Structure 1
Amino acid sequence: MGLVAGAVLCLMAGGVSAANGVGIERSVYVERSQQGTRALEPATTLRKGDKVVLVLAWRAAAARGFTLESAVPRSLAFQRAGNEEVEVSIDQGRNWGQLEDLRIGSRLASAEDVTHLRLRVPPSAPAGRITYSAIVR
Structure 2
Amino acid sequence: MEMSMRTALVLSLAALLPGQALAANQVALNNSVFVERVSTDASGKQRVLLEEPKVVVPGDRLVFVLNYRNAGAQPADKFVITNPMPSAVRFADAGDTQSLVSVDGGKQWGLLSELTVAMADGTRRAAQPADVTHVRWAFQKPIPVGGTGKLMFRGVVK
Please tell me the TM-score bracket, short chain as reference: 0.7 to 0.9
The alignment covers a number of residue pairs equal to 134
Compared with structure 1, are the counterparts of its residues 12 and 61 closer, same or farther at alpha carbon in structure 2 (3 Å cutoff)?
A: same
Equivalent position of 1:33 in the other structure: 38
**Is 2:70–2:143's contact at 8 Å kept on the other side of the alignment?**
no
Q: Does the CA-based 8 Å contact 1:80-1:132 persist in structure 2?
A: yes
By how many angstroms is 1:23 displaced?
1.1
CA–CA distance in structure 1, aligned partners of residues 143 and 23 of structure 2 = 17
Q: Which of residues 50, 56, 64 in structure 1 aligns to 2:66?
A: 56
**DSSP 3-state at the match of 1:39:** strand
Deviations 1:58-105 (A, max 9, x none): 101232122110000110010111244210000010000000100113
Give the Cα–Cα distance (whole angstroms) in 1 for the partners of residues 149 and 12 of structure 2: 26
**1:23 matched to 2:35:** no
Within the candidate set 120, 130, 135, 2:151 is matched to: 130
1:71 and 1:97 map into 2 onto residues whose CA distance is: 15
Structure 2, unaligned stretches of length 5 or more?
1-8, 119-123
Deviates more, 1:119-128 or 1:68-77: 119-128
Higher strand share: 1
Check the 8 A contact 2:62/2:154 in 1, yes or no.
yes
Pick from 6, 11, 23: which aligns with 1:3? 11
Q: Please tell me the root mean square deviation across aligned C-alpha atoms, in Å.
A: 1.9
Distance, in Å, in 1 between the alignment partners of 2:50 and 2:29 is: 21
Task: Indicate the structure (1 or 2) with the bigger Cα radius of gyration.
Answer: 2
- Is the 8 Å Cα contact of residues 13 and 56 (structure 1) preserved in structure 2? no
- 5+ residue gaps, structure 1, are none
Identical pairs, percent = 32
Q: Give how far 1:44 is off.
A: 2.2
